[in-house]
Amino acid sequence: MDFGLYEKILDKELKNQISEIHNETRKVDKSESARVLATAYYKILRKILSEKKEEEKIDFVRRLNREIGSGIICDDDKKFLELLAVHENEDILKQLVENRPKTSISSSTLFTGYTGPTLESELRREIRTADRIDFIVSFIKYSGLRLIYEDLVEFTKTKKLRVITTSYMGASDYKAIFKLSELPNTEVKISYDTNRTRLHAKAYYFERNTGFSTAYIGSSNISNPALSKGLEWNLKVSEYTSKDVVDSIIKTFETYWNDEEFRTFLPKNEEDNKELKVALSRKEKEDK
């Protein structure tokens, strides 16, 4: 076997392989055992299934169902079925299906701005199918906000939107922040510390009550090039298969949200408007 770092649950085969080699193991903490074991069996099952023909997969799953008490089923054409949406209102159900993201909400996807759907098109679909939204971006351009604004208007009629941004380098457009903060059920917080904070995070979190929340982390602020045709890299992760990552995003966002450094912008407050305009008028040079 190859020498180097591992993070793999110990089984009989692996134990035999390392029996005469210097090795280091650790006891899995109870708080981690579910994640570690699920990852191990995911790798095992994926390897087994990838080596089987379609007919063999069906027989294998049936045997697995008997062993673990699961009830994964296939239809009359011997095809496995995947649930896409549920709702008591048929019209809303149709809207959910029509607007679901093109990329998976149960696994990870990399957006590079080179091939595949644009970040703009996917964010719009995420907005239309989310139950709550959090954005954290270094700056917001009106040209970028326009791309997703109408979807946010519809979303915030009944659901909650939170946005964290900064005035660093005067990069944000006042009009963009003002229009966002005017939306109902929306709160925008801003850091005015241009010398210390220098928040460069760009993340978009879409919470779904079904357990299929998604988050995008990468290089795209809310600007037209970044969301449309720019060669930006963004990784989409799913709560379903990357719960630890999504939980970390939520926790970090809440830490920022509750930090006094980030202050709520009130569009009807004259002092807030004046302070933001002054902050955005400063064009400071970023240290290299």
pLDDT at 197: 56
For residue 90 the two structure tokens come to 């048929």
> What pLDDT sits at residue 195?
60
In this predicted structure, what is the pLDDT of residue 75? 65
Which residue bears the tokens 């644009």?
Answer: 118
| In the chain, where the domains are located | 12-53, 90-281
Q: Are 86 and 93 in contact (CB under 8 A)?
A: yes
**Is 198's pLDDT higher than 90?**
no
Token readout for 80 is 């496995």
The per-residue pLDDT for 288 is 31
In 3-state terms, what secondary structure has residue 140? strand
Between 199 and 75, the more confident residue is: 199
pLDDT digit string, tens, across residues 85-143: 888 888 998 999 999 999 999 889 999 977 778 999 999 999 999 999 999 999 999 99
Distance, in Å, from the CA atom of 6 to the CA atom of 186, rounded to the nearest integer, reads: 45
Dist CA 99 CA 94 (whole Å)? 9
- 166-170, 172-176, 275-279: which is most confident: 172-176
Instruction: Provide φ and ψ at 195, rounded to 5°.
Output: -90, -30
Going 48 to 53 to 54 to 57, the CA torsion angle's sign is negative
Q: What percent of the chain has pLDDT over 70?
A: 94
The overall average pLDDT reported for the chain is 87
Give pLDDT, residue 286. Answer: 42
Q: Which CATH architecture has domain 90-281?
A: 2-Layer Sandwich (3.30)
Side chain identity, residue 237: V
Kindly state the tokens that stand for 252: 């970090």
Average pLDDT over residues 173-181: 94
Give CA–CA dist 226/137, Å, rounded.
Answer: 12
* DSSP SS3 for 85: coil
Percent of the chain with pLDDT over 90: 45
Which carries the bigger pLDDT value, residue 13 or residue 235? Answer: 235
> Which among 158-162, 236-240, 273-277 has the top mean pLDDT?
158-162
